[in-house]
Chain A
């Protein structure tokens, strides 16, 4: 019994130790708390909503892409399993509407229509060019929901996740009037969710900024949800495959554990009854 107590206490302590590791992030100025959003891709059985991802892609292509790169994504990814799953011919057509840099037959720099194996075209050739044009570097969006966090604290993150998607959603819908007396720096816009409350990006999603092909009404809310879901997929395109594999793995390991438990019991029974091995 003593050992059990020892065991239990230590397991708890190690859990706490492991938990203590969780990122300690300072909020940097006190913005409002990030609200939890119910996503279709949450939980052990979570899946992306294909139609939502397709709408999200439309927003990226028509709105975000003029400033933000997504360099770890390829056009072909839009047709892969677990993502927006555009049909192959549509993927080719989408790719062909973008120009990507290449080298011409005589070695000169040219652009040509993209093909599915090309990485998404970047709006600027490099970081410095973006800074020079926009005054700030618009971060690459390929991993945005993994490199930002909305939830903090060891236990919160354990049960709710890191909240990267919630943060992006909150930021996109968080534009509001600056309170009286608060001086927003020139060229910046008030957003309570951003560091120091001022962001260089203009509110990107006013009502009806895009016209959805599937007839969904393009409210700011809706567009923010759609683009965030798309970005969450882009950051973790293998999520569905991972969760599916996880379920199979854990079920199998549990059965294996039960078998081993009974094997151990059977094996040790004579020893526990005082017999010699």
Chain B
């Protein structure tokens, strides 16, 4: 169960041309290695996302290059050039909607890919480097997405840039200096826009390079699989019992997954292209008017929630970066020797709670932190604003620290009579969105720092199959058995 290199039949060039080429550049051997790479035959549908992500990267780079041919990185023209793309460039709307929604779907795929790794222990020995390279790719994706979102120069672009670069100002002493350097000036302006464009164009190629390293590492140690059991690697023949060649078995299977993914993607691109975006980004950037609620793109929301959970600026920023950075040391935090969560009965509970916590953090990040989820309060309703004011004064004079406010609402009755209602709410105790975020954040960190280290020592794992082949055969037998009773009466 050591994992490690899987023996594979060697490439022998056949024709004269192949031999000629192989002698000079062993590209044929590389292709052979990639195509016939022994891949565990028991992979389930969770393993399609590597292929999906490769497609996402290509789609983003290709459509991005197209957009860059029409986009103008200038504060006076950026917004208009995007509209030019949407209205006048042939198929320009397609390029932009594919690219904008493509970013979201890239993250959907990467999150599913990461959660798969977390559940099946794909970060454990000997795949630590493979995992860490993945975390680096994820970090670069976030940087790229953030800078890309600034480019249309809408209100959310502008204020997002303001807030995110503001994170660096939290660094004691040199923070403000660093922020000014990042922006190329005292505020988000032409210099910032232009360099974000430059970097947004550059980073995807850095991602592509890291993806090559990711695949290199993968091909060195081999795929993990749902059983977590390693491929028997004593000989080519024993490895063959556990594996199938990557192509055509997984190329075709992955292609099916990719096309299903693309169908869902197409529904968004063609029928709800602005659902994942923010309407405020259709308002041109204005440095004098801040939108009422600055919300990052959905894929940053869990981290945004963590940032807002802590009132201290520096600690909030540190917690946010730590929540991402902690993934890099995960291989050493999880003490369990069993890879797959499928054989860890307690782990599975904690894992699913973790998934819910992440989604919950995303939800919290999208909402106003002041929203009261549970509250103990008194409400007084008036139609006369003067009386409402009076009541508010009464409450605040009685208790200086009281949390109270007036909310105005418009009402119209059936007979056509309308009135304004002034409601004064005196909140005695409340559990807010922010409190929920704090709870979820605590679980997030506890999962990595307490649960995984302790669970690995305490938990009794269920017996694992002897080999990948055994796992595969058992699953097939189970499937046949499930299908058989249904098939018999039909005959």
Contacts and interface: CB of A to CB of B under 8 A. Distances in A.
A250 B260 CA distance: 10
B259 A146 contact: no
A6 B259 CA distance: 21
Given A14-B108, A72-B80, A277-B245, A243 B45 contact: no
B46 interface: yes
Contact of A24 (B240, B283, B293): B293
A274 B473 contact: yes
B205 interface: no
Nearest to B82: A72
B484 interface: no
Given A7-B45, A23-B279, A242-B93, A180 B419 contact: yes
Interface string B85-107: 01100000110010000001000
A35 interface: no
Interface in B252-270: 252-253, 255-256, 259-260, 262-263, 266-267, 269-270
Contacts of B278: 23
B249 interface: yes
A25 interface: yes
Contacts of A18: 104, 108, 276, 298
A235 B87 CA distance: 9
Interface in A119-159: 139, 142-143, 146-149, 157-158
Contacts of B76: none
A181 B293 contact: no
B410 A257 contact: no
Interface residues of B, number: 81
Nearest to A27: B409
- Which of B45, B46, B97, B283 has most A Cβ within 10 Å? B283
Contact of B279 (A29, A149, A158): A149
Contacts of B245: 277
B30 interface: no
B41 A246 contact: no
Contact of A246 (B270, B363, B365): B270
Contact of A14 (B112, B241, B275, B279): B112
Given A22-B366, A260-B256, A17 B298 contact: yes
A268 B256 CA distance: 13
A252 to B, nearest CB: 9
Interface string B242-255: 01110011001101
B310 to A, nearest CB: 20
> Helix, strand, loop or mixed for chain B's interface?
helix
B283 A147 contact: yes
B292 interface: yes
Contacts of A237: 87
Nearest to B255: A260
Contacts of B94: 242, 245
- Which of B104, B274, B419 has most A Cβ within 10 Å? B274
Contacts of B368: 24, 26
A187 interface: no
A271 B253 CA distance: 13
A63 interface: no
A6 B262 CA distance: 22
A3 B270 contact: no
Nearest to B365: A20
Contacts of B115: 10
B80 A20 contact: no
B359 interface: yes
B275 A157 contact: yes
Contacts of B443: none
Interface in B350-389: 352, 355-356, 358-359, 362-363, 365-368, 383-385
Given A30-B409, A72-B80, A72-B83, 17 more contacts: A3-B342, A23-B279, A30-B410, A72-B87, A147-B279, A147-B283, A179-B418, A192-B410, A197-B410, A250-B263, A253-B266, A257-B256, A257-B260, A267-B249, A271-B249, A274-B473, A274-B476
Interface of B: 41, 44-46, 80, 83, 86-87, 93-94, 97, 104, 108, 111-112, 115, 119, 226, 240-241, 243-245, 248-249, 252-253, 255-256, 259-260, 262-263, 266-267, 269-276, 278-280, 282-283, 292-293, 295, 297-299, 301, 342, 352, 355-356, 358-359, 362-363, 365-368, 383-385, 407-410, 412, 418-420, 473, 476, 478
15 contacts: A7-B44, A9-B355, A20-B363, A20-B366, A24-B295, A29-B408, A77-B87, A147-B280, A162-B279, A177-B418, A260-B259, A263-B256, A267-B252, A268-B249, A277-B244
